[in-house]
Structure 1
Amino acid sequence: MQGISFTAIDFETANNYRASACAVGLTKVRAGVVVDQVAWLIKPLPGYEEFHPVNVGIHGITAAHVRNMPDWRRIYGPMMDFVDGDALVGHNVSFEKSVIAKANEASGLPAPSLEFHCTLALARKHLQLPHYTLSDVVGALELPAFNHHDAGDDARASALIAIELARRNGAAKLDELWPTTERTSARVPSYYSAGYTRKLADLPKANPLANPYGPLFGQTIVFSGDLEAMPRVEAQDASATRGATIANSTTKKVTLVVCAELERGGRPSAKVTRAHELAATGQNIAVIGELQFLRLLAFK
């Protein structure tokens, strides 16, 4: 696997704004072997420094942990020095791509020219799994256990997924593992794009083994609009993992509409309008915003 060389990357954020990076993990791979790894805590940029309880509950990083850490403007140079022009690999790498773009924009830094490859897309292509979270894929490939949502561990896990799938498929270089049409260098693939709607047959199935006491278990959820914290497809997958049924339209079976526009002052969508109509007839259906959804999602 002489051509399997890249840097895997993972970010954690303080809140649902992509510019609020509070940790980064980087793992360097050369010829299919992990050769180096670094991880840094980051003090979020001014205006993005609030640590939301949902995020803290996920990664455990607080404002106290980063008080004396460098901010994005000081960490960006060393980070890019470590990357050294490599293609960047990550699980749902559209998130990492947007963190870099938004943090650079907030810092007045130019957008870098980088090539991105997604292990989530790779796993979907080569594995048949009920769910494709980083933990699910690591388990399916029987890779070493890791501390999920630790940026350093997540980056290494993403690297090992790419290496293992390259080995299983006999790929000698990245172009074989990720054909040109599947790259995210020029633009994010439509699957992760704003406004992308899955076909009904592609919607994730509810996990029957999820915690039955969780707030999303047994719910039937529709997403209206695009979330700030994650692509809609990732929110759908995460909800299904916690036992929710995912729908594309507001019907009499729907119990919860997640409205991204609710906290932005936008006009109600047709899905939200229909939800209010059904609620007026006595149906048990609620409309919530992104922040409330993230709080429900954080419940394991």
Structure 2
Amino acid sequence: MTKVRAGVVVEQVSWLMKPLPGFDDFHPVNVGIHGITAAQVRNMPDWRGIHGPMLDFIGADALVGHNVSFEKSVISKANEACGLPAPAFDFHCTLNLARQHLVLDHYTLSDVVGALALPAFNHHDAGDDARASALIAIELARRNGASSLGALWPGESRPRVPAYYSPGYTRKVSELPKANPDANPYGPLFGQTIVFSGDLAAMPRADAQDAAAAKGAVIANGATKKVTLVVSADAGGSGRQSAKVRRAHELAAAGQDIKVISELQFLRLLAFK
């Protein structure tokens, strides 16, 4: 990653990390591209150890990359595999930007760097690739008189957010997502009936409902005799119990198979494929 301030790269960082179990194949073709071997990362931290320093470096900044959908997917899938909340970053793509402003046969990172007469770099070194992406954005901003990301990518303003994505909003029953019948039937959320109590820190309640329904869960608005899981945003926090949580404990005491779990526990269950 590189940090840009006032059109200048002011800092650059990179990390090696050990892949998570199940994602740790080092195919010779890939090693031949990036030069990283299994031996080099054997004693490195995994994604969970890199996640914090990465967020600290990013802060409140937007993320810019060349074919940034790849990085976006990596961050999303790695967080999912670790049970970490999905960060709400703004992403901007220099590949799309180059296609709008340059006429080239190919738009690889090297091709665009060459077309803009930017400094040579060590392609497929993560730190150098990040710096090259930043320099592309800076140069195209200079050529187009853009002084902000919004001016450089004017068509990427965020769509209006539906009201039920606002904190505190409770969806009507008709707005609740339907359980996905094609989800993994062995997943821990499949077949559960879930109600959410409070607003989660990681995502809007509506996002959490959608994500659980995609895993095959039935979403409810209240702690009824059909509910099996109550996800409490305050579990282990303030100590004050919501009406839904109190009702869940009453139902459990009466013999119902119902559990109250924390947001972190929910995110871990959500991470299962």
Corresponding letter in the other structure for 1:127:
L
**1:112 matched to which residue of 2?**
87
Pairing of 1:240-255 with structure 2 (within 5 A): none
TM-score, scaled to structure 2: 0.57
- Spell out, residue by residue over 1:113-139, the C-alpha distance to the aligned partner (whole angstroms, 9 max, x if none): 100000000000000000000000000
**1:198 matched to which residue of 2?**
none
Secondary structure at 1:39's aligned position in 2?
Answer: coil
Contact conserved, 1:116 with 1:183, CA < 8 A, in 2? Answer: no
1:181 shift after superposition: 3.1
Q: 2:124 aligns with which of 125, 149, 153?
A: 149
**1:65 matched to which residue of 2?**
40
2:110 equivalent to 1:135: yes
Contact conserved, 1:59 with 1:150, CA < 8 A, in 2? Answer: yes
Percent identical across equivalent pairs?
79
2:76 equivalent to 1:101: yes
From the superposition, tell whether residues 53 and 120 of structure 1 become closer, same or farther in structure 2 (CA, over 3 Å).
same
**1:74 matched to which residue of 2?**
49
Contact conserved, 2:150 with 2:157, CA < 8 A, in 1? Answer: no
**1:44 matched to which residue of 2?**
19
1:172 shift after superposition: 1.1
Q: 1:172 aligns with which of 137, 141, 147?
A: 147
Structure ID, larger Rg? 2
Secondary structure at 2:3's aligned position in 1?
Answer: strand
Measure, in 1, the Cα distance between the counterparts of 2:48 and 2:115.
38
Measure, in 2, the Cα distance between the counterparts of 1:172 and 1:47.
43
Secondary structure at 2:13's aligned position in 1?
Answer: strand
2:59 equivalent to 1:84: yes
Secondary structure at 1:121's aligned position in 2?
Answer: helix
Measure, in 2, the Cα distance between the counterparts of 1:89 and 1:183.
16
2:89 equivalent to 1:122: no
TM-score, scaled to structure 1: 0.52
Secondary structure at 2:14's aligned position in 1?
Answer: strand
Query: Which structure's residues are more often strand, by fraction?
Result: 1
Measure, in 1, the Cα distance between the counterparts of 2:100 and 2:83.
37
Measure, in 2, the Cα distance between the counterparts of 1:71 and 1:181.
33
Contact conserved, 1:117 with 1:183, CA < 8 A, in 2? Answer: no
Measure, in 2, the Cα distance between the counterparts of 1:147 and 1:122.
22
Q: Number of paired residues?
A: 160
**1:158 matched to which residue of 2?**
133
From the superposition, tell whether residues 137 and 183 of structure 1 become closer, same or farther in structure 2 (CA, over 3 Å).
farther
1:68 shift after superposition: 1.1
Measure, in 1, the Cα distance between the counterparts of 2:78 and 2:139.
31
From the superposition, tell whether residues 117 and 158 of structure 1 become closer, same or farther in structure 2 (CA, over 3 Å).
same
Measure, in 1, the Cα distance between the counterparts of 2:49 and 2:106.
37
Gaps of 5+ in 2: 162-273
Measure, in 2, the Cα distance between the counterparts of 1:54 and 1:164.
33
**1:29 matched to which residue of 2?**
4
Gaps of 5+ in 1: 1-25, 187-300
Corresponding letter in the other structure for 1:60:
G
Measure, in 2, the Cα distance between the counterparts of 1:38 and 1:174.
22
**2:234 matched to which residue of 1?**
none
Secondary structure at 1:40's aligned position in 2?
Answer: coil
Secondary structure at 1:42's aligned position in 2?
Answer: coil
1:112 shift after superposition: 0.5
Corresponding letter in the other structure for 1:154:
D
Measure, in 2, the Cα distance between the counterparts of 1:39 and 1:28.
12
Superposed CA RMSD in Å reads 1.5
From the superposition, tell whether residues 35 and 150 of structure 1 become closer, same or farther in structure 2 (CA, over 3 Å).
same
Secondary structure at 1:89's aligned position in 2?
Answer: strand
